[in-house]
Amino acid sequence: MRIGLVVDSACDLPPDFYRDNRLVILPITIRIGKQQFVDQRDPQATLDFYHQHLSNAAQGETEAFSVEQIKQLFLEKLVVDYDFVLTLILASSRSPMFEHATQASLSILSEYKPIRAKAGLNTPFALRVVDTQNLFAGQGVLAVEAVRMIKSGAPPNRIRERLEALIPNLYAYMLPNNLGHLRTRAAKKGDRSVGWFKYAVASTLDIKPLLRAYRNDTRPVANLRHYGEGAQHCFEFIIRKINQGLLTPTLCLSYSGELANLEKMLGYRKMREVAEKAGVEVFVSLMSITGAVNVGEGSLVFAFCAEPHEFE
């Protein structure tokens, strides 16, 4: 059976992973003033956006692929290229993309037969839309697991069951650098987790809130003093979780800036060494334009699947 994997452009994974595993992207459009950008996960376009537009992107608008656009993508290409398509979407609590994909799936399943028949395919087509209940690098963890299972020859039902079992144990943590951007963005979306008083105090004391995305909920779980020290604390935390045992051998990290900056952070190289010795594969990528617009420049996100825990 030919199994395809679709993700939206907020899913953070390296470009070679997208290319080598033929991941299909549902793009997200970003509008800043009169300018429009389509997030296609192109590394150079992402860096150019960081350098030229991210500083004034907090007031930007994001627009998910519409129901009709998703339907056209499937009916014009995917229902012929594949027999089953798994679609992994960012948290439904943060974007309408999951709702759009779910609505589109109804039309796709009722209209695909003549298209496949014209291509000489008389077998049925099926698809599954999955709410990852997570963001950015968190989505990446599930995509990596899905690819592993597809390559192993696992049937669609087993892949779906595996992913749905992992979702309640999928954690993504985000350490922001620019609190002004984060607060402006939160206010624009009606998110009061970063209020004026908290922002003023945190800015004065150089305290960074550590945010956690988990089961369709995003909230602060810790306050870390100074960005550099906070990042080191995060890498030490990752090491502890690796030593305790992850539920999949995968760690995804994304960063909204030049990736060379990660190598300079205290604790990063040691974390990579520990992961390698433990057999945990590390996927490092530029954060998507979509993600960077929402969290600002210099933000670090890391994600993995683990038993229930609290940040410490």
Q: What is the pLDDT of residues 59-80, one digit of tens each?
A: 888 999 999 999 999 999 999 9
Residue 182 pLDDT exceeds 80: no
Closest to 280 measured CA to CA, from 145, 169, 150: 145
Which residue type sits at 252? C
DSSP H or E segment with residue 103: helix 97-118
CA nearest 9: which of 100, 136, 94? 136
Q: Is 219 helix (H, G, I), strand (E, B) or coil?
A: strand
Range of weakest confidence among 5-9, 199-203, 262-266: 199-203
pLDDT band at 180 (very low <50, low <70, confident <90, very high): confident
Q: Pairing state of beta strands 24-26 and 3-8?
A: parallel
What is d(CA 100, CA 239) in angstroms, rounded to the nearest whole number? 38
Say yes or no to pLDDT of 34 above 90. no
Whether 186 shows a pLDDT value over 70: the answer reads no
**Cα dist from 273 to 29, 31, 277, 309, whole Å:** 37, 40, 6, 23
| Terminal alpha carbon distance of the chain | 44
CB 229 within 8 A of CB 241: no
Residue 40 CA to residue 10 CA, distance in Å, equals 9
As a whole number, mean pLDDT of residues 241-253 equals 98
Per residue in 82-101, pLDDT (tens digit) is 999 999 999 999 999 999 99
Model confidence at 81: pLDDT above 80: yes
The whole-number pLDDT of residue 57 equals 84
Domains of the chain: 3-167 (3.40.50.10170), 169-305 (3.30.1180.10)
User: What is the pLDDT at residue 196?
Assistant: 41
Q: What is the pLDDT of residues 197-234, one digit of tens each?
A: 354 444 545 889 999 999 999 999 999 999 999 999 99
CA 297 to chain centre: 16
Distance, CA of 186 to CA of 94 (rounded, Å): 12
DSSP for residue 299: -
